[in-house]
Each structure stands twice: as C-alpha cells, then as structure tokens.
C-alpha cells in the first residue's frame, strides 16, 4: 500500500544573495511553514557551508519532522562523507543518490513514518494529503530527488545553480 503526499520542491536557500536569491529563500521558508515534513538535502561531497548551517537553524525552529538527506553518495566508499552533517543537530543523515536511487527505500520508509495521517485541511493544507517540502542550498539535488520520487522528469535538472526559482508542487 502506498502513501500519498504532496511534494513542494523549492529553490535554493541562501544566507546572503541578490534580490532574486533572497526572494527564492523566502519562498523556501514559506514552503517549510506550509509543510507537514521536510527533507533537507545536502551535497555530501562538499564541505558544510554557512547556507547548510542557516537552513538547519530554520528547520530546527519548526515543529515539523525533518529528515536530512546527504545526497550524491553513489557508493559505499563515499558514506564516510556524511559524518560532517551530524553536526547540524538533525539526527542521522540518510546517505542517498537522487540520481541513481541509492538509499531511497530507507529515506522513504522514514518519511512515511513521520507523515501525519489525520489532516483536517487547516492552515492552507490539503485535507488528507500531507505536504512535504524539499529544501537545501542551490545545486544539491533537490529537483533530482523530486523527479526520482515522482518517477518522471517533472522538473528541469541542470548543473547550473538556480534552475528552480519558484516552488513546484
């Protein structure tokens, strides 16, 4: 039996930036405020950044469950890369590869376990369907994760940062 939920893919959240970046970050924050759960995606192949720290503060201040997805872990030898992300205070990072589907079963099992089952449609939420926000800094693989979850190429994926500018349901 599957679990139905609505996904909101957000643009990259950044501590500083131009007016466009600040607007994209504000939309990502709004998506978190409307969500019933969050998947915070980090690029495990790069060092922890101020943006990662800022996002962790944002989601830790929210009362909703947060799953930390350490993306771009394409094989067992790369799993040691996730240890730096324990310091964000969000629990155990899930080593995944959104591009190849690696680790998705564990992440989805954890997601289903934290999604609410008794929504009433208050506060702008859709009755009966939990909302999941995918958040992270630019170019960590949020849209790739969305496409994998949907099983189709719903959103554009590019190595160029800033491809996703508006939240996508």
Q: Which residues contact 149 (CB under 8 A, 6 or more apart)?
A: 7, 104, 108
What is the rounded CA–CA span in Å between residue 18 and residue 35?
26
132, containing H or E segment: strand 131-135
Do 36 and 116 meet the contact criterion of CB atoms below 8 Å apart? yes
What is the pTM for the complete model shown?
Answer: 0.81
Q: Quick: pLDDT tens for 116-152.
A: 887 665 555 555 789 988 888 888 888 888 788 877 7
The residues, any chain, with a CB within 8 Å of residue 24's CB and separated by 6 or more, are 10, 11, 12, 13, 14, 162, 165, 166
What pLDDT does residue 143 have?
Answer: 80
Query: What mean pLDDT do residues 103-112 have?
Result: 95
> What pLDDT is recorded for position 108?
94
DSSP 24-86: HHHHHHHHHHH-SEEEEEEETTS---HHHHHHHHHHHTSSS-EEEEEE---SGGGGGGGGGGG
Return the higher-pLDDT residue of 169 and 6. Answer: 6
Asked whether the predicted pLDDT for residue 38 surpasses 90, the reply is: yes
């Amino acid at each position: 039996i599957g679990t139905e939920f609505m996904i909101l893919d957000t643009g990259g959240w950044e501590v500083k930036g131009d007016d466009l970046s600040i607007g994209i970050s504000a939309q990502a924050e709004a998506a978190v405020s409307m969500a019933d759960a969050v998947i915070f995606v980090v690029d495990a192949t790069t060092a922890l950044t101020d943006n990662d720290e800022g996002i962790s503060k944002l989601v830790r201040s929210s009362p909703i469950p947060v799953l930390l997805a350490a993306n771009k872990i394409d094989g067992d030898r790369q799993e040691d890369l996730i240890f730096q992300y324990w310091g964000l205070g969000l629990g155990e990072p899930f080593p995944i590869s959104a591009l190849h589907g690696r680790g998705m079963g564990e992440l989805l099992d954890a997601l289903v376990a934290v999604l609410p089952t008794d929504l009433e449609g208050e506060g702008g939420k859709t009755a009966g369907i939990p909302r999941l926000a995918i958040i992270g800094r630019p170019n960590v693989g949020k849209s790739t994760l969305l496409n994998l979850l949907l099983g189709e190429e719903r959103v554009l994926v590019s190595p160029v940062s800033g491809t996703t500018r508006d939240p996508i349901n």
